[in-house]
Structure 1
Amino acid sequence: MSYGRPPPRIDGMISLKVGNLTYRTTSEDLRRVFEKFGTLGDVYIPKDRYSRESRGFAFVRLVNSMLV
């Protein structure tokens, strides 16, 4: 379901699932950690539908410099 947004451009990106996160972890926290490894595409932290709290994992997309 797109919720009115077009799908993100993911050509040339590598997606990583990051697990075992605290519920207080923010996308900015993950950006600071992963920007050391290359150009970030985006960070997505899924939230519980009802409580709106983090579900304890995230997806980080990095630009694959081998494909660019």
Structure 2
Amino acid sequence: MSYGRPPPDVEGMTSLKVDNLTYRTSPETLRRVFEKYGRVGDVYIPRDRYTKESRGFAFVRFHDKRDAEDAMDGMDGAVLDGRELRVQMARYGRPPESHHGRRGGPPRRYGSYGGRRTSRRYV
């Protein structure tokens, strides 16, 4: 269980993404409520790199895919710490650290002076 980086031995585990967490939900609490569906290998709550606060979502990793599927079915829509959880299979791994662009900061959206975008995309 961690708020930091995931352990290196998560290969072969099935990950669920749990959205709509309160900022005070702990990895221990998530482990406790998800363990009733099977053996949990890891709980990871990403933190904002500057404020160190929870980003409001987590990854719960199960050793067995069927346990993860049962947990997804059982916990999606469940209320934890006063919030209705959204639980789905995780689709992607963590983005690489270099994904944040220049000098470790977030990528710029509107150019170097913070102005509006020069082109718009309509869908």
TM-score range, shorter chain: 0.7 to 0.9
Which residues of structure 1 form unaligned runs of 5+?
none
The alpha-carbon deviation at position 11 of structure 1 amounts to: 3.6
| Greater helix share, structure number | 2
How much is the aligned-residue C-alpha RMSD, in angstroms?
A: 1.9
Identity, % of aligned pairs? Answer: 69
Runs of 4+ in 1 over 6 A off after TM superposition: none
Count of residues in Structure 1 that have an aligned counterpart in Structure 2: 61
The alpha-carbon deviation at position 8 of structure 1 amounts to: 1.8
Mark the structure with the bigger radius of gyration. Answer: 2
TM-score normalised to the size of structure 1? 0.80
Which residues of structure 2 form unaligned runs of 5+?
67-123
The alpha-carbon deviation at position 12 of structure 1 amounts to: 3.3
The letter for the 2-side match of 1:17 is K
Greater RCO (Cα-Cα under 8 Å, separation 6 or more): 1
The alpha-carbon deviation at position 10 of structure 1 amounts to: 2.6
Match of 2:47, SS state, is: coil
2:60 and 2:41 map into 1 onto residues whose CA distance is 8
